[in-house]
Chain A
């Protein structure tokens, strides 16, 4: 560290000098992550249509390629060659910029996700993730905050009423759930004691089958886990929180005026966000790439070092993605006032109280206080606080007169 600021913890940079092969490793990682996300989105959209079709006794896409797996590619090519139109009342530069603003955060957020373990590429030891920021969790929150720009500016720049209504609605929703989202992430950070995503994953390392419940944070931070899943669904505008694109009321939503490849980019961004969020949830709560290796091979065998962590990572992400598809097929869209009530009156309150409770418990553990005395007191205090807040909440329709 000879006066040069270090911006990543990766062992790749331990030598302190950037040679061409180090540069090559970074370039390979970036390109592979980019291609992986694009292919994953393609397969996810196909898989989603197939699973939902199955749940609804339909066949789903089955024409393009085996089992219709190339359907998304065909749609993409079609959209690519379609004519693009810009409304005459649109703000042209912003209108053109908006789709890219909505897809960039999804890509960038994936960069801090640990996909595998510590491997060797081109003779360099490195982590299997694009970059390991010392403040990775903060980066995730910052990027999820940037995601709102694409939707907001798209609606405004279209110069048309329905997209504007759609984007105002979307912005309110995203801002409301951002708070709950951040507090849920905080629940894990208190347990892990580090902001680095690699550090969080290392804290959840595999140590026999019991670590499924004892090491991974979904059990130790169960309440934040549930809040995270709900808030992430709302942040990605996935059903039942897809009020952004209400065909009945808004013609289409913020993207009504978009055509061709620009529309496709919004579409891509939406589904890429779902995949990225599932990857983040896997990292924070399900141990990321941690999982049992193959016992009959040596621990440093290439299969155990390279393949098994990636395999476990993909299994966890696919399980979460299947659940989002399941929810999508099962639940109808929420009403707007209920969406806001859920976010502001319940999720944020419960998340704040949980942060206080788990902070108290962590302090108690470090100071060596009696856990069996501290836990009931803290739990009772939190439940009491929630009860007081619940009683103070206006019932539906109660305050309408006062504010009119």
Chain B
């Protein structure tokens, strides 16, 4: 258990530092790469909990597809090698306030809900249990999310067309 706590601490520290990097760096591509580190840290945390399916899906979908599309979009539009001006805008301070408030509320909730409870780590969830949950128990929310994403996709195409 001690080894797991140490690894958790290291991963969490790396994630927090990279998350700060995402918002402070002056280069859009570097920000995307910091985001990769944050997401990979998340995948590592899932592995620590023995949830391999979720961990590798996180790598496959977020790192392998979402960020790649971000980077692809950045390259196709503007790939500023030496950014001339900073990426900040007027919403910097409201953003900070919202972020701090969110950390406070969520942290207080977690502490309030669990206090000193020790959570026993269960046996790893098998893939078949995950898929049964998605395709049997939660089939309707799953399909609704699918249709929502499809609608967003078609909406993006409609908005982007210039006729």
Binary contact track A167-184/B, C-beta < 8 Å → 1, others 0 = 110011001001000000
| Chain A interface residue count, Cβ-Cβ cutoff 8 angstroms | 35
- With beta carbons under 8 angstroms apart, the residue of B48, B60, B81 that contacts A91 is B81
- Decide: A156 near B79, CB < 8 A? Known: A134-B52, A135-B56, A146-B59: yes
Q: Which residue of B lies closest to A193 (CB)?
A: B128
Q: Which residue of A lies closest to B163 (CB)?
A: A402
Contact B75 A139 (CB under 8 A): no
A145 at interface, CB cutoff 8 A: yes
Contact B75 A6 (CB under 8 A): no
A7 at interface, CB cutoff 8 A: yes
Contact A142 B75 (CB under 8 A): no
- Decide: A7 near B81, CB < 8 A? Known: A94-B29, A94-B33: no
Taking the closest CB of chain A, its distance from the CB of B129, in whole angstroms, is: 12
**Which residues 120-157 of A have a CB within 8 angstroms of B?**
133-135, 138-139, 141-142, 144-146, 148-149, 152-153, 156
A159 at interface, CB cutoff 8 A: yes
A57 at interface, CB cutoff 8 A: no
Contact B60 A133 (CB under 8 A): no
A5 at interface, CB cutoff 8 A: yes
Contact B121 A142 (CB under 8 A): no
Q: Which residue of B lies closest to A145 (CB)?
A: B64
B123 at interface, CB cutoff 8 A: yes
Binary contact track B25-69/A, C-beta < 8 Å → 1, others 0 = 001011001001000000000011110110011011001110011
Which A residues fall within an 8 A CB radius of B? 1, 3-7, 89, 91, 94, 133-135, 138-139, 141-142, 144-146, 148-149, 152-153, 156, 159, 164, 167-168, 171-172, 175, 178, 195, 402-403
Which B residues fall within an 8 A CB radius of A? 27, 29-30, 33, 36, 47-50, 52-53, 56-57, 59-60, 63-65, 68-69, 71-72, 75-76, 79, 81-82, 120-124, 126-127, 161, 163
